[in-house]
Amino acid sequence: MSTLSVRNISVAFGGNKALSDVSFDVGPGQIFAIIGPNGAGKSTIFNAVSRIYDVATGSISFGSHDILALAPHQVVATGIARTFQNIELFDNATVLQNLLVGCHSRMSRNMLADFLFLPSVRRGELAARHRVEEILDLLDLQHLRGERVADLPYGARKNVELARALCADPKLLLLDEPASGLNPEETTDMAFWLKDIKEELGVTILMVEHDMNLVGRTADRVLALANGRVVAEGTIAEVQANPDVQAAYLGVTA
């Protein structure tokens, strides 16, 4: 099992420091939540881990892999899959096709073999399809299999994006606000799924989340971030009790 370890990373956009000197470790089998006010740099951490942003200083490693040495499309092969804050699905494709792209990193691709659809390609498709069906079962999405994503409501898209990330067979799942835009009932479902994913699939989860209800119910550890700096780290109770965290959210009393 692998640990994600983020060491002293800083990310700057021009003079604007989005992250300064942030360090934390996500151990195997944990659900680790990052909380913080808007603009605290939560999504920036995700974008640094998935190599969309370059970090100025610091290091990120996952197990024995040095993440910062990889190109963005190579990150998923180390076992890190992610979702996005503003859903990034392939809108003009069906749910099934979306999930099959999720399997992309585990499938062999050969342009010529694909063009001729050799028997090996069919075998690969069937194997990928098998994986997709398992995930559809887990998240209760079977009825949406053939729907075009553009025709789905928001909550369903959120789940499809989670399913797509799971199709990559990750060891670590980065979820950017899994509960945003979901109603209380859907949020409860999400909490159950996160636990299922952790316990049944043995996937470590790192999530950014504003819904304290969801964080309280699922997270083993919480990291509070404000203005690009770590304010507190610990269990949800410890973090909520921390006066610096309260000050970051509510301001300081005079």
Using CB under 8 A as the binding rule, whether residue 143 contacts another protein is answered as no
Residue selected from 12, 56, 68, 93 as contacting another protein according to rule CB under 8 A: 93
| Pairwise CA distance, residues 237 & 50, whole Å | 30
| Pairwise CA distance, residues 117 & 104, whole Å | 16
Residue with tokens 């999405």: 141
| Pairwise CA distance, residues 210 & 134, whole Å | 29
| Pairwise CA distance, residues 162 & 174, whole Å | 10
Using CB under 8 A as the binding rule, whether residue 179 contacts another protein is answered as no
Q: Give the nearer residue to another protein in terms of CB position, either 128 or 232.
A: 128
Contact pattern from residue 53 through residue 92 relative to another protein, giving x for each residue in contact according to CB under 8 A and a dash for the rest: ------------------xxxxxxx---xx-xxxxxxxxx
Using CB under 8 A as the binding rule, whether residue 97 contacts another protein is answered as yes
Q: Give the nearer residue to another protein in terms of CB position, either 2 or 47.
A: 47
CB of 136 to another protein, least distance (A): 12
Q: Which helix (H) or strand (E) holds 243?
A: helix 243-250
Using CB under 8 A as the binding rule, whether residue 109 contacts another protein is answered as yes
Measuring CA to CA, which residue among 156, 168, 151, 99 is closest to residue 129? 99
Question: Which one of 110-118, 135-143, 201-209, 227-235 is the stretch in contact with another protein (CB under 8 A)?
Answer: 110-118
Q: Which parts of 113-228 are beta strand (E)?
A: 172-176, 204-208, 221-226
Residue selected from 1, 126, 250, 252 as contacting another protein according to rule CB under 8 A: 126
Question: Cα dihedral angle (240, 242, 247, 253), rounded to 10 degrees?
Answer: 110
CB of 228 to another protein, least distance (A): 18
Q: For residue 202, count other CB atoms closer than 10 A to its CB.
A: 11
Tokens for 14, please give them.
């021009």
Q: Give the nearer residue to another protein in terms of CB position, either 117 or 192.
A: 117
What is the binding site for another protein (CB under 8 A)?
A: 43, 47, 50, 52, 71-77, 81-82, 84-93, 96-97, 100-102, 104-105, 107-111, 113-117, 121-122, 124-126, 129-130, 150-151, 154, 157, 164, 168
